[in-house]
Amino acid sequence: MKRTLKAAEVCKQLDLPPYVLRYWETEFPMLQGKGNGAARTFSAEDVAILRRIQQLLYEEGYTIAGAKKKLEGEPTGHAAAAPSLFAESAPAAAQPAGDDPAVAAALDSPPDERIETLRNGIAAALAETRSILELLGKPGR
């Protein structure tokens, strides 16, 4: 028989409040938490996915959307080491396999790099707008 964990056990093991687990279930369709009467249960693969989500959001600084994209690009078999999933230590993270390198690179970068990229893009757009205004004979500010 496959070993499953109740939602409360998963929350305790991952040190997550129950509302966070419930929210992640709505945001990450790959989670296969099964309702068994009133108790939701999670397989070893589900726990591995939850650990990975936790790592992406809390340790690597991804947004929910970025974590979804990253998980979609990762091999589904990265959770194959099922017996170790019920241990206290988190499994090693799998490397992504993105389809679009530019999108993957943007989502893979840390938040401070994404902010800097946005600032540079805004500055370039502002400079281009000012040069267009000068060409039109309207002085830029």
Strand, helix or coil for residue 70: helix
How far apart are the C-alpha atoms of 15 and 113, rounded to whole Å?
Answer: 29
Task: Output the average pLDDT for the chain.
Answer: 76
pLDDT for residue 54: 95
How far apart are the C-alpha atoms of 110 and 107, rounded to whole Å?
Answer: 8
What digits encode the pLDDT tens for the residues 40-51? 889 888 999 999
How far apart are the C-alpha atoms of 118 and 112, rounded to whole Å?
Answer: 10
Mean local confidence (pLDDT), 60-72: 91
Residue 111: half-sphere exposure toward Cβ, Cα within 13 Å? 10
- The contacts of residue 108 (CB under 8 Å, 6+ apart) are 70, 96, 98
Which pTM does this prediction carry?
0.52
How far apart are the C-alpha atoms of 106 and 47, rounded to whole Å?
Answer: 27
What digits encode the pLDDT tens for the residues 117-133? 888 888 888 888 888 88
pLDDT for residue 133: 85
pLDDT for residue 38: 63
Token pair in block for residue 43? 């397989």
